[in-house]
């Protein structure tokens, strides 16, 4: 299936990287964000607040990728950002007479909750505990109703350029639960996942976007601490033991990741 016009809804760092990559492949990439002047020249900008589109219409598109980001981790903000923007996007597409053949929603593995150390595939039943994660799951259901041809991509722990919060925690020696199982994906690999879903003849309806090695937080912290030449942050036992996310379905679609484990990813960031 060949697409020609890609709409990137909520076009921040992730959407911009994807748009640049698809533009290099000859697609027309249009980025929708409140401050459209921040987009690179190879992308067509549309200044729009999707939560309040008014009577603005969006041009016809072959594919839409939805990468929304809430300003703060509060339920009301999540509800406004995710659920409000999904309804606004649908109405602005309808106003322009657009019915995209392919729609991707970037959600989060947070919707799965924190089962005690279990390994989960895409068949796992979501059980979000945090109120913000409950809103994300509600947004997934609403998106399915609004866009019947939807693919949902759930990344975990996105890190990479400009996303160094874990490095900061290690550098500052913040206590953390060493035994908690964690999952992550490098930003560049996540863009590749989205690219492959866009181009797939039969895109998956749901995909975990995670690297190939879930790992205890203490192990990852020790690796990063060694690269930084700082002490390993102290252990803070207790709390949920995390989950190991199975990436088999993603690997079948994408093949080998550029950063298949945290080691390659943090080597690239810290070397």
pLDDT digits (tens, 9 = 90+) for 79-136: 999 999 999 999 999 999 988 999 999 999 999 998 888 899 999 999 999 999 999 9
Burial class of residue 101, CB neighbours in 10 A (0-12, 13-18, 19+): exposed
Least Cα distance to 86 among 152, 30, 21, 6 occurs for 152
pLDDT of residue 1: 45
pLDDT of residue 2: 53
pLDDT of residue 240: 85
* Whole-number Å distance between alpha carbons of 181 and 259: 19
Per the CB < 8 A criterion, the answer to whether 63 and 25 are in contact is no
List, for the chain, all residue ranges whose pLDDT scores fall below the cut of 70: 1-3
**pTM of the model as a whole:** 0.95
pLDDT of residue 127: 93
pLDDT of residue 168: 96
* Whole-number Å distance between alpha carbons of 165 and 172: 11
pLDDT of residue 226: 97
Please give the CATH architecture assigned to the domain spanning 5-162+183-212+241-258: 3-Layer(aba) Sandwich (3.40)
CA distances from 40 to 18, 21, 31, 32, 61 (A): 12, 12, 9, 12, 19
pLDDT of residue 3: 53
CA 113, chain centre distance (Å): 16
* Whole-number Å distance between alpha carbons of 140 and 187: 21
Per the CB < 8 A criterion, the answer to whether 245 and 109 are in contact is yes
pLDDT of residue 17: 96
């Amino acid at each position: 299936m060949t697409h020609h016009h890609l709409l990137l809804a909520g076009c921040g760092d992730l959407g911009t990287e994807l748009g640049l990559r698809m533009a290099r492949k000859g697609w027309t990439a249009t980025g929708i964000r409140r401050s459209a002047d921040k987009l690179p020249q190879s992308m067509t900008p549309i200044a729009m607040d999707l939560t309040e589109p008014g009577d603005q219409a969006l041009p016809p598109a072959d594919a839409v990728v939805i990468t929304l980001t809430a300003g703060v981790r509060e339920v009301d903000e999540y509800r406004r950002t995710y659920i409000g923007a999904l309804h606004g996007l649908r109405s602005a597409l309808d106003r322009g007479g657009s019915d995209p053949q392919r729609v991707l929603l970037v959600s989060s593995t947070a919707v799965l909750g924190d089962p005690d150390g279990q390994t989960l595939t895409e068949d796992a039943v979501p059980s979000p505990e945090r109120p913000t994660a409950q809103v994300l799951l509600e947004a997934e259901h609403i998106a399915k109703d609004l866009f019947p041809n939807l693919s949902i991509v759930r990344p975990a722990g996105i890190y990479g350029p400009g996303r160094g919060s874990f490095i900061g925690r290690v550098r500052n020696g913040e206590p953390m639960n060493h035994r908690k199982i964690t999952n992550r994906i490098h930003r560049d690999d996540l863009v590749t996942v989205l690219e492959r879903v866009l181009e797939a003849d039969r895109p998956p309806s749901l995909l975990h976007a995670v690297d190939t090695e879930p790992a205890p937080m203490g192990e990852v912290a020790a690796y990063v601490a060694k690269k930084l030449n700082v002490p390993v942050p102290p252990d803070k036992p207790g709390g949920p033991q995390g989950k190991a996310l199975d990436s088999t379905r993603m690997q079948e679609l994408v093949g080998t990741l550029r950063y298949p484990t945290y080691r390659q990813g943090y080597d690239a960031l810290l070397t």
